[in-house]
Amino acid sequence: MREADNSLAAARTTAEQLSAQLQDKQSRWKLLSEMTREMDGYNQSVRRAIQYGRSAGLTGVKGALAQLIRVPQQVETAIDMALGAAKENIVTDTE
């Protein structure tokens, strides 16, 4: 009986720890999602131009280059350095 109680207590402790980790990761995901949506970290003029394009229904405005490309994590820093400020270039259908 004592062994079962110890196992139950250990399982509860593990469940509490996992629940806390889940809440932490959910909070972080929510924050990062909001930062992405709000274009936090982008130049103000780039952010405003893209937000205007979206709010005005301009379907030709696709977004900033950095929003549109995906690169493997192991080369992320190299690509970031190579692109420099160009990662904030606004991509459109026509130019």
SS3 at position 64: strand
Q: Which two tokens stand for residue 51?
A: 């937000």
Q: Provide the mean pLDDT of the chain.
A: 91
pLDDT surpasses 80 at 41: yes
Contact, 55 vs 84, CB < 8 A? Answer: no
pLDDT surpasses 80 at 22: yes
Query: What stretch of H or E contains 30?
Result: helix 2-37
Q: How far apart are CA 64 and CA 39, in angstroms?
A: 9
Q: Where are the domains positioned within the chain?
A: 1-37, 43-95
Q: How far apart are CA 71 and CA 80, in angstroms?
A: 10
The mean per-residue pLDDT over the stretch 3-16 comes to 88
- Which pLDDT band, with edges at 50, 70 and 90, does 56 fall under? very high
Q: How far apart are CA 60 and CA 75, in angstroms?
A: 29
Contact, 28 vs 40, CB < 8 A? Answer: no
- 30 versus 95: which is more confidently predicted? 30
